Amino acid sequence: MTQDASAEQLHRRLLVIDGLVFFSDGDTTSLREGNVAAVNLTVTGMTAGFEEAVNDMLRWRARCADPNSGWRQVLGVADIEAARQEGKVGLIMGWQNTRPFADRLERIAFFHGLGLRVAQLTYNDAELFGDGCLETRNAGLSRLGAAAVEEMNRVGIAIDLSHVGEATCLDAARLSKRPVLLTHANANAVHKRPRNKSDEVLRAVANTGGVIGLSIHGFMNWSSNPAEPPSLDGFIRHVRHAHNLVGIEHLGFGNDFASVRDAQATAGILAMSFNQFAGATGDYIRAFGNTLEKRYPDELNSPRHLARMTAALLKAGFKEGEVEKIMGRNFLRVFGEIWG
């Protein structure tokens, strides 16, 4: 048996959880082809307010209730294994911003009741709860944000720090009584990018018991040299660095993929990322264009090819049990600790 065939067989046995899928039009084909059991899916817009978020979540709840949709809503970790057994994809409802909460902390329990299970405190900019990674003042968590961390801990919504500023990350990790997550972020020590994290932040997340979702995405997995496009080898460098820094128990992956029938469905989000957040994306887009597939390494530009990530980890010397943890078991464990 060839090494690739052996990796493919292992991948088909794994419970795979992607820490971040940024958009879906409802199609699960590429995820199922990639043997994905569950995804943290961004179910509403990055700048959505209360009403938009409610309507989007109600649409996703209705989709999951349709037995032919290919989705199963995830309210607890048992739903992830159940989705896998049913041949469906587990939908972990996630947000990449907390604007729908506004300054009404009672909304946190309300949205948990609708199915929200992961929420990122900020999306790049300064928000009511704290500063994002593009906010130069780096002021950290606000008083309201500190109260929100406490309430999210209480109801069981995972705190995501991926697009969050340095000081806000450290404040949230210090205050949280439950593990915090980086669902899709890499190490500045490997590739210094606006969206990547310092070793201090990576250690702080791990010290809460949390998981770091390392990413193949070019915005985070790139040397900033237009002659060196993102690659699986670059991703493996991030995995090795994080492994040496915090250990295998705190590693996962979050590729920031889309799950769509037609890539054009993402056009509005792709344009938004350049027009509003060029500080994090502009140099990459100028180098490689602003299409969906070019945001990822050519070897792995769709969830359907995720077995290639498993193969790359094995080739890099990680043992099968370690690959199993990175590809989903660590996220499964930590979700159980956060959601209860």
Q: What is the pLDDT of residues 16-50, one digit of tens each?
A: 999 999 999 999 999 999 999 999 999 999 999 99
Look up the domain containing 240 and give its range: 3-339
pLDDT value, residue 3: 73
Q: Return the half-sphere exposure (C-beta side, CA atoms, 13 A cut-off) of residue 128.
A: 15
Q: Which of 172, 77, 178 is nearest to 120 (CA)?
A: 172
Q: Which of 23, 53, 21, 56 is nearest to 38 (CA)?
A: 21
Kindly report the pTM of this predicted structure: 0.98
Phi and psi at residue 246, to the nearest 5°: -125, -10
pLDDT tens digits for 69-95?
Answer: 999 999 999 999 999 999 999 999 999
Q: Cα–Cα distance between 335 and 1 in angstroms, integer?
A: 36
pLDDT tens digits for 193-243?
Answer: 999 999 999 999 999 999 999 999 999 999 999 999 999 999 999 999 999
What tokens were used for 293? Answer: 């597939």
Residue 127 has pLDDT above 90, yes or no: yes
pLDDT tens digits for 148-178?
Answer: 999 999 999 999 999 999 999 999 999 999 9
Q: How far is it between the farthest Cα atoms of the chain?
A: 58
Residue 40 DSSP SS3: strand
- Per the CB < 8 A criterion, the answer to whether 332 and 62 are in contact is no
Q: How many domains does the chain have?
A: 1
Instruction: Read off the CATH number of the domain in which 311 is found.
Output: 3.20.20.140
Q: Which of 240, 133, 118, 101 is nearest to 179 (CA)?
A: 118
| Bridge partners, residue 40, by sequence | 92
pLDDT tens digits for 233-285?
Answer: 999 999 999 999 999 999 999 999 999 999 999 999 999 999 999 999 999 99
Residue 1 has pLDDT above 70, yes or no: no
**Ordered alpha helix ranges (H), the chain:** 3-13, 29-33, 50-65, 78-86, 106-114, 143-155, 166-175, 199-207, 232-246, 267-275, 278-288, 307-315, 320-324, 330-339
What tokens were used for 196? Answer: 């990547």
